Amino acid sequence: MKLRIQDNSLRLRLNKKEVACLRDLGSVESAIRFSANRVLAYSVTSSPDADAISVRYEGDLICVFLPTHTASEWAKNDEVTLEGSDSGVHIVVEKDFQCLHRSGSASDSDAYPNPLAQR
């Protein structure tokens, strides 16, 4: 899962395997380890209690919550982007497309086909 933070905006991009994990297990998580005892973790979780897309930041964890129905529908259709806002933070969760500028990148192997590649 890729995380981009810019100003008051969070963007998380999930590949096919991560979208399937979200659909089947209800959550997907990733982390960046800065040292042996400093880790920033981030996750996307579907929650039956969520009425809208929201975010919680506690300790060293950023957790984005999606309503279960929204996450389930998004996982099985062609919709690319889910967007919301919570406490002034703009939240974007997207399906990750294959990069057009690098050929055969291993990190793109589980990404969604890029619709612009067909042009």
CATH number at residue 29: 3.30.1360
Residues 6 or more apart from 25 whose CB is under 8 A from it?
none
Is the residue at 110 inside a domain? no
The rounded distance, in Å, linking the Cα atoms of 10 and 62 is 10
pLDDT level of residue 32 (50, 70, 90 thresholds): very high
Domain tally, the chain? 1
Is the residue at 22 inside a domain? yes
- pLDDT at position 92: 97
**Measured in whole angstroms, how far is the alpha carbon of residue 102 from the centre of its chain?**
22
Q: Are 37 and 55 in contact (CB under 8 A)?
A: no
Q: Tell me the residue range of the domain where 87 lies.
A: 2-98
State pLDDT tens for residues 83-116: 999 999 999 999 986 665 655 555 666 655 566 6
Is the residue at 81 inside a domain? yes
Is the residue at 68 inside a domain? yes
Is the residue at 115 inside a domain? no
Of 40-44, 56-60, 111-115, minimum mean pLDDT range: 111-115
Is the residue at 30 inside a domain? yes
Q: What is the mean pLDDT of residues 44-66?
A: 97
pTM, two decimal places = 0.82
Is the residue at 86 inside a domain? yes
- Residue 4 confidence (pLDDT) above 80: yes
